[in-house]
A and B are shown apart, each in its own frame.
Chain A
Amino acid sequence: MNFNSKLMKNLSDCFSPSGREQNIREMIINEISDYADEVNIDALGNVIARKKGNGKKVLFSAHMDQIGLIITHVDERGFLRFSNVGGLDADELIGLHMVFDKGLEGFISSEELEGKEKVTMSKLFLDVGSTSKDFVKANFKVGDMCVFQAQYYETPDCVKCKAADNRIGCYVLIEALKNHPATENDVYYVFSVQEEVGCRGAKTAGYIVNPDLAIAVDVTSTGDSEDGTKMDVKLGDGAAIKIMDKSVIAHPEVKELLTDLAVENNIKYQYEILEFGGTDAGPIHLSREGVKTGAISIPTRNIHSSGEIFNKQDVIECIRLVQAVAAK
């Protein structure tokens, strides 16, 4: 299996912050519609693709939204005020380049800060680079969203890009669906909305599918840098089988299943305990009467920045593990 750089680049570059997933939804549907037996979109905008079978219902979920900013006020002099969409802190934002849906750009600047005053969102603004009131009025509205501007970049083994969280997860599910194994299982590939603001899409998707087994596919942090977060997940050490995060304790049977499948199929794996953050597994395992749920994570550095880095071979191991679950 080769890494499809073109697909990954397209997914990463696709503008779709939480609640504005129309572009990525279209791209994914175009990509998968020839391979799925059914593709549905629910009220919140989740894509629910199905490979029909008479066996147990298996749900895979990867969220397709990305973090960004929402415009809360337009000053005609070309300064936009904003609030965060998903986990972004004000003090990480100054100096970043942002891009809107149609390609317009902005640069994040700050009001004058006194001494060591804490940076808050209300002190920041986006300079859209125009002194023309007409241009500003015509192009920017309250409610518009923007995302990081960053170039997709690869080395022989790794990728650096924006929105790897969680377009890699989408990539994994697209590739798994395209190479869906022969199986009796009734398999649902869900591309969920609004994960970054509280795993909202997965809640309705979990309810609709009502699966017997669910696996979230999302990024996880690493403990790669010497003095960074202490965490036993490493780039290049394979698919990460989740044990626990803030939203879920993986069902022990699911953790065992994933481990056994990895061993059987010679898939490189590692265990993951994430001390912060959650995934779609959170709402899904609490859906209806409860669902046995686990997660496969792609180790990723610098999550929620404009330069998220992951290893291509790890992604391939994740795809193989998803296929093994689908077939089991």
Chain B
Amino acid sequence: MFLKELTELSGVSGCEYEVRNYIKDKLQSIGCEYYIDKLGNVIAHNKGRKNKTIMVAAHMDEVGLIVTYIDKDGFIKFQTVGGIDPRVLNSKVVLVGENKIPGVIGSKAVHLMSKEEKGKSIPVDELYIDIGTYSKSETEKLVSIGDYISFKSDYVEFGDDLIKAKALDDRAGCSVLLELLSMKLDADFYGVFTVMEEVGCRGAQTAAFALEPDYAIILEGTICADMPEVKEHSKATIIGKGAALSLMDRSTIYDIEEVRKVEGIASANGIPYQFRTSSAGGNDAGPIHKTKEGAKAVAVSIPCRYIHSPVNVASKNDYNSALNLAKAIILDNQKGE
């Protein structure tokens, strides 16, 4: 499991190089062939027995922020990159730019807020980042417009099998994919670490165009709403209940025969699984299944509480279920007739 290292790297959409470099190093050390395409996707090839072209995708990028303006007192204004709920931003610790300048997200002091403002989350354009400088020129020495900003959040294990970290969506998928590539399975597949999923599944589009897969497995960190007072039918996934299989989301209706086949594989191998019982969100399956002549796609996800915030929570058991299930799916599809 490479989760600690992977989640402590920065890789906001469009700026995935730290994650890419880490993955390249790992692929070299396990002796796996790979190349980098023009958008920055890492395309690794595990050679083995082959019936069809399989693409296994996990995205390297994470949601974050980008610097848009520096004011006269040295405070930084920013925009979000990818979908971030503004409720999670205030008072968070962030790292700005390549040199990881530490900062905190601040807002107007509570005693200055009107009654109406107090009851609401603070909009992004009323937040700023304080990096401890006193003037525009001081900040400009450290930060430029266009610098990416990521959350600072340590990897922590707690409870029986839970993990708290940032960017589990989708470093969890990246870690599973790296493990799959390390196994040297006698089953052919391309492991693709994609860029810019969080801003519209852009990397997956060019990777699928290049590979022309027949079958795709998307490894994701996905929504989980198993919190207090949420009704059973609104939870989407439940932590600890196993790998989550998708049926439908905004980008894809997963081929039902393939989904039922995966269900069978999970049952036969005693791998805990659940269905992702929400049709919200989307992932790299969207562009992949529609590229060129089309592909069958399935998504195997790890439920993440508090997704797209600095503190995602996931279960190591679910992670292992996703890993085992992905492995079993690949082997089943390349087992020969």
Residue numbers of A with Cβ under 8 A of B are 18-20, 42-44, 70, 72-73, 75, 81, 83-85, 122, 142-143, 194, 197, 200, 203-204, 207-208
Contact = CB atoms under 8 A, between A and B. Distances in A.
Nearest to B251: A198
B313 interface: no
Interface string B219-256: 00000000000011110000000000001100001111
A194 B253 contact: yes
Contact of B253 (A42, A81, A85, A122): A85
Interface stretch (B32-40, B75-83, B273-281, B302-310): B273-281
Given A43-B214, A142-B247, A143-B275, 15 more contacts: A18-B253, A19-B256, A43-B295, A43-B296, A44-B294, A72-B278, A73-B232, A85-B248, A122-B231, A142-B275, A143-B256, A200-B289, A200-B290, A204-B293, A207-B294
B335 interface: no
Q: Please name the 3 residue pairs, one residue from A and one from B, whose CB atoms are nearest each other, closest first.
A: A19-B253, A204-B294, A73-B233
B77 to A, nearest CB: 34
Contacts of A81: 233, 277
Interface of B: 214, 231-234, 247-248, 253-256, 259, 275, 277-279, 289-296
Contacts of A43: 214, 289, 293-296
Given A81-B233, A142-B277, A204 B290 contact: yes
Given A70-B279, A72-B279, A143-B256, A207 B292 contact: yes
Nearest to A204: B294
Nearest to B279: A83
Contacts of A194: 253
A79 B101 CA distance: 53
Nearest to A207: B292
A194 B250 CA distance: 12
Given A43-B294, A44-B294, A72 B233 contact: yes
Contacts of A143: 247-248, 256, 259, 275
A197 B296 CA distance: 17
Contacts of A75: 232-233
9 contacts: A19-B248, A19-B254, A44-B289, A85-B253, A143-B248, A203-B290, A203-B294, A204-B294, A208-B293
Contacts of B234: 122
Contacts of B232: 73, 75
Nearest to A287: B292
A75 B235 CA distance: 13
**Interface residues of chain A: helix, strand, loop or mixed (majority):** mixed
Contacts of B289: 43-44, 200
B208 to A, nearest CB: 12
A84 B278 CA distance: 11
A197 B278 CA distance: 15
Contact of B247 (A70, A200, A207): A70
Contacts of B293: 42-43, 204, 207-208
Nearest to B249: A83
A70 B247 CA distance: 9
B198 to A, nearest CB: 20
Contacts of A204: 290-294
Nearest to B213: A43
A44 B247 CA distance: 15
Q: Which of A75, A84, A143, A197 has the most CB of B within 10 A?
A: A143
A18 B277 CA distance: 18
A194 B290 CA distance: 11
Nearest to B252: A200
A142 B278 CA distance: 10
Contacts of B214: 43
Contacts of B253: 18-19, 85, 194, 197, 200
Contact of B277 (A72, A84, A197): A72
B65 to A, nearest CB: 30
